[in-house]
Structure 1
Amino acid sequence: MISILAKMRKFDTAWALIDEMRGRGDRPSMVTPHTLLIMIRKYCAVHDVGRAVNAFYLHKKYGLEAGIDEFQGLLSALCRYKNVQDAEHLMFCNRTVFPLNTKSFNIILNGWCNVIIRPRDGERIWREMGKRGVAHDVVSYASLMSCYSKTNSLNMVLKLFNRMKQQGISPDRKVYNAVIHALVKAKHVNEAVNLLKTMEEKGIVPNIVTYNSLIKPLCKARRLDEARKVFDEMLQRSLRPTARTFNAFLRILKTGKEIFELLEKMKDMGCPPCYDTYIMLIRKFCRWRQLDDVFRLWSEMSENGLFPDRSSYIVLIHGLFLNGKLEEAHKYYEEMKSKQFLPEPKTDEMLQAWISGREVAEWGTMENQSDCNQLNKTVTKKFDEERDFLRQPETRRVVRKQGYSFWEK
């Protein structure tokens, strides 16, 4: 209940419910650190860092102890929703209360590497760990290698992979997934498959993420036959595909018929589309100017229990606006604001400009006739004044002074 209220931005109601959960008299308190963590995460989701930090410091109020685990929960929530810079600042400012350790650094490192995807900042945190004597572990390597694999830096991925083995750190599944992903993106498919076999020989069982690391780059490179072969192998291993697996295929399909057929296949396999699926397809159909399919997807999203969120509204409104459907875009814009979703600045600016232009046009239409009448009256009055002036006798004399003519004052 608290999670639902906070997700709908009913924060005051959520806090009132939490206050009711406090122990009174003989009744024990039902408020736990996880309760406050829910509020922290929801504040981070709307980028309200100040209130997220305030929620963390409420542990004492509810008779709870805020230890290193709770602090790392706060850092993780901030990084998860792209508030990585704030999380880093908070970690260093509280280093006397919550000593710096590998896990705290890994949270920030993962934020820069896998949420924001900034290799330069990831490298900076990596060096900072070395300067402060904080050891790099397999999670540290996995985060940085994953970042390099996403930015097509195969050489850096392999360099780190060899270094960690030299230091006696055994690669885990995440490390292998990052290397496989980087190899496939660099079109070294055979090497990626061989590494997959090596991974199995060492007793590390590939998971769905491993196969997604193979399928997504293959689809992006339009090597569909190889991607389908990997997909079939995954099914043979009794691994259930995720929405991300299907999204890789949906992203490269070229007709609406193929897309809706694959969507049906997803449902038949017990893998319903997620928000990312619908947002991607709405954007695609808007680009293709197939607005009937856009509204069909919009209806299906609600029918499947995925009620439109802020990102869904922004993509739909922007697509309708660019297709010249201004009235429809404005209707969904007002609907989004009524649900207290914050509009995207550029879309908001475009719609506000259109609304202002429409109001000016409507005002001009209503006032056009009266303005014309007023203008005619003004012109007529000015003409009459000039005519009367010309008919009046001249009463002033012209005088000459120093070779020039002047009106007599």
Structure 2
Amino acid sequence: MLVTATELDTVGFGVFVKNVGRRDGLDEVLRLVDAAHHQGGSIDRSLVAAMVVDGLCREGRIEDAWRALEDMRLRGWKPDFVAYRIVSEGFRIAERADEEGRILKQKRKLGVAPRKVDYRELLLTLVSSRQISEAKEMAEAIVSGDFPIDDDVLNVLVCSVSEIDADAAIMFCKFMIGQGRLPSTEVLVRLCESLCRNKKGDEMWEMFKVLLDRGCWTSEKDYHLVVSFLGKAGKVREAYDVIKEIKRKRLDPGISSYNSLMVTLCRNDLLRPAKKLWDEMFTSGCSPNLQTYNILITKFAEIGETGEVQQLFDHMLQKGVAPDGATYTSVITMLCQENKYEQAEEIFNKSVVQDPKLASSVLTVLILALCKQGNLKAALSVMFSVPSNIESSNSHVILLKFLTDAEEIEMALEHIKWIKRCCNCTFQDIMNELMASLSTSASLQPVTKLVRHLHSQGLVDEVGPWMKMIENVYA
């Protein structure tokens, strides 16, 4: 680019020479600086000087960084207060107080005040060009030196830097809070998601405590964000303390906060505290919603607590909370695993009364659960009794597939005849889906036997590739 006289910009040239300095040292940087000086272009030289010394200091080349201040100043690149502060901080970390003091004197004598607008454009351009590490490093120099930086820039930094360095992102957030300004809700969500991924719950809680102590949050939505992310980070006690604090302030934690904490308790198998929280909700006048019931029903079904599940299911019906597909799936699957088939069918019948469309998906769950338990006769019985307004094609296919795999060919054929004679379902669609599903069967023999019977009795007119496969097998 220098040879072809291509115009350079601050970000491109600054990032390049900073990395050259980290790798090759100051002399190579000065050679490039001299070449760029003669070429001209729209380069902010003070910003480049700051980037160069920052890179050198990060590699422990603090003497080179000190020399760079003078050599670049003599070349007209005018290091500003940020650059001098970066180098003095390098010597402070190295516990070389004399050099640190001399550089600070040079800063007052020779340095120039940084232009906030220039650093703003530099940081935003670095972020937009996905130079996140470079943006983080320059922002660290600005923030640690307590130089001015706009709120919108800090918000952008917290969001982008949280993707690569959660510690740096939380440092920017704390700096912002320390200045009496608040990051946006969107920024906090992004930051907290990063902290959860990186298992930094303690750091998250420290940040939340500062915000809570300063009275920055007052609404139910704000507190829900705190409780929700503390729960995701596994900070159960802290989340519960926040709920108690909300109550002390005579505010309503809201069902969302209770549900977030309930999820965390169940995920960590803390069932006694979960039951205590359930009782506390009613004491506080907070009625559980569908999500609350599903959280507990799913957990108790998972560990086989049939009595608890049945009690919760009955309770939600008494309270007028309509179960959804997730509720029915948890209850029915658990009952079938415990061979309580009549109770499972009773639960299915409740879905029929509630909503035919919902009942169709619940029927699929019931038939699949029965078939997996090997109770094919019970599955057949259920299918015979399904009301005509319930769409059942998928359930028929599942049952026929299990019958075939179990080599119950006669039962499968009888059921197919029954479907054609009595069922409102589209017979040909069921046959087409069955033919497709049989391709996953572990054994070819029962499949070929079924297909041959179907074809010989005229129950299917076209079996496509199956007939060729059957002919090959019997050839």
Normalised by the length of structure 2, the TM-score is: 0.39
Larger helix fraction of residues: 2
Normalised by the length of structure 1, the TM-score is: 0.44
